[in-house]
Amino acid sequence: MTQIPTTTNPNWWRDAIIYQVYPRSYLDTNGDGIGDLAGITEKLDYIASLGVDIVWLSPFFKSPMRDFGYDIADYCDVDPMFGTLADFDRLVAKAHGLGLKIMIDQVMSHTADSHPWFVESRSNRDNPKSDWYVWADPLPDGNPPNNWLSVFGGSAWQWDTRRKQYYMHNFLVSQPQLNFHNPEVQKAHLAAQRFWLERGVDGVRLDACVFHFHDRQLRSNPPALVRDTSTVTDVNPYGMQAHIYDKTQPENIAFLEQLRAQLDEFGAVSIGEISSDDALAQMNEYMAGGNKLHMAYSFNFLTPVFTAAHIRAQVEDFERRVEEGWASWSVGNHDAIRVMTRWGGPHATAGFAKMVLAMQLSLKGTPCLYQGDELALHEADVPFELLQDPYGITFWPEFKGRDGCRTPMPWQAAAPHAGFTTGKPWLPVEPSHAAAAVDLQDKDPDSMLNFQRRFIALRRTMPQLTRGEIAFIDAPEPVLALRRDLEGERSVLAAFNLSNAEVTFDWPATEATDRLAVDGLAGDARGGRVTLPPFGAWFGLERAEG
């Protein structure tokens, strides 16, 4: 099979919107309580109705599921719980028929410990794959070779009795780190990626792509000058190190160039997950020259910090420091507390969600939306005895892990388990989610779901919001004010109230604008003064001269 033509516009992805699907929790069609590929295929019409362009599928590959698919045992097959390769082909065919593109997760830095590569590698020290993973002798006192830590807790080294050596793992003990310094590892990954590109995949999301290479000398990391709380919580000691040797190594540049060359053969795109001590520096390196990543995102909008100053700083810093790159702005995904709870608090309403979406889609970059945020879902409260995420179990109770954002999609308010499954769901359906189900919101013109559809449709008519330059205007906290300028088009001005109290401020430039009505958002500008109700927003079009 060959890929369908992408488009005549090589930068089509800059105008696109990404929608992330977490397959385990989207729709279960066989009653086993776990979502599947057939369920995603069944809901592609719904996804298309949102107006998005790219469907990012979290891992569906063969896996022991200790990290729920991010521990891969076969890069070129579908796990039976999700279906078959034929199911995947049907999904791609239907998506393409609807004008949707399919992006898959590529988890390259590590495998499952049940992967045949690791089974062979750990069997002894002289087998053909003995150097495919990161192995190290103990120090004379038996300790690991250095101080590297795992993101998921404890040392990044695990003793193996077969080889009488330590192997490295940046995440779970059952996720051994591949040795990218071995060219055969790189070739194997490129071959696996080609397998999916030939099946019609339109893009890849590179999970943990700063973790591919490690320091060959195995030097210990120094203490962090400022504790990192953007990628891990403050209860995790991982943030106490400056991670300059266990990831973000310079050798990754050449590998990303190889990966990009292969993607270019198929007209496919890439987006990289950047989690490092200086994410913008890595983004700049990984996108420079137009021959590595197409887009990248960091965790800076996935933290609890929600101020106009913070949002402005992230975008301005990106524009200043990432000279040749393109941002993907995400306020929610499968690793973060849902934005309604994280930024809005327990009592946030759909009005808050509408403002956040409009703000996100007004920034310069490719937006990435997470399933369920179109319904304004709050973080689910999963009790300890029902937790599945090993990350949350380790750091309970101060950190509850990622299960709260991964609970099943609510499709039908009155159906058992909100229409997700006829069996017992792998995670419980949050009761408040059923009241926000798709079937109810679909019929309500004022719902968050229908607002998202309308705003995305409006955005498509305004190239200023996709390709225009961005500039922020000084405004009092909690107001984020900006303008988008594109040659040949009237400039768009926009202001967002990030608080639950009315705000009024002076913006003289609004006197020369025509109000751009956005159904579902309230705000007014008169006489150079802007008034925004709680979580309100205002849009204006600059008047043409003459």
**How do strand 135-136 and strand 157-160 relate by DSSP bridges?**
unpaired
CA dist 420 and 424 (Å) reads 10
In this prediction, what percent of the chain has a pLDDT beyond 70?
98
Q: What is the pLDDT of residues 356-401, one digit of tens each?
A: 999 999 999 999 999 999 999 999 999 999 999 999 999 998 889 9
Residue 147's pLDDT is 98
Structure tokens at 471: 């500039």
Residue 546's pLDDT is 52
CA dist 204 and 259 (Å) reads 10
CA dist 204 and 190 (Å) reads 12
Please determine, for residue 200, whether its predicted confidence score (pLDDT) is greater than 50: yes
Residue 277's pLDDT is 82
Q: What is the pLDDT of residues 505-532, one digit of tens each?
A: 999 999 999 999 999 999 999 999 999 9
Q: Architecture of 468-542 per CATH?
A: Sandwich (2.60)
Q: What is the pLDDT of residues 110-168, one digit of tens each?
A: 999 999 999 999 999 999 999 999 999 999 999 999 999 999 999 999 999 999 999 99
160: enclosing H helix or E strand: strand 157-160
Q: How confident is the prediction for the chain on average, in pLDDT?
A: 96
Residue 3's pLDDT is 34
Residue 276's pLDDT is 86
Catalytic residue among 234, 257, 265, 519: 265
Catalytic residue among 28, 67, 105, 207: 207
Q: What is the pLDDT of residues 394-447, one digit of tens each?
A: 999 888 999 999 999 999 999 999 999 999 999 999 999 999 999 999 999 999
Asked about 511 being catalytic, the answer comes back as no
Residue 398's pLDDT is 87
Distances (CA, A) of 79 to 126, 192, 537: 31, 15, 44
Please determine, for residue 60, whether its predicted confidence score (pLDDT) is greater than 90: yes
| pTM for the whole structure | 0.96
Residue 1's pLDDT is 31
Residue 542's pLDDT is 96
* Span 452-480, average pLDDT: 97
In this prediction, what percent of the chain has a pLDDT beyond 90?
93
- 12-109+183-457 under CATH 3.30.830.10, yes or no: no
The domain limits of the chain are 12-109+183-457, 468-542
192, 204 Cβ separation under 8 angstroms = no
* Span 64-71, average pLDDT: 96
Asked about 207 being catalytic, the answer comes back as yes
CA dist 444 and 212 (Å) reads 47
* Span 79-90, average pLDDT: 98
Which position has the token pair 């509408």? 354
Q: Where are the alpha helices (DSSP H) in 245-299?
A: 252-266, 279-287
Among the listed ranges 5-19, 59-73, 229-243, which one has the minimum average pLDDT value? 5-19
* Span 454-464, average pLDDT: 97
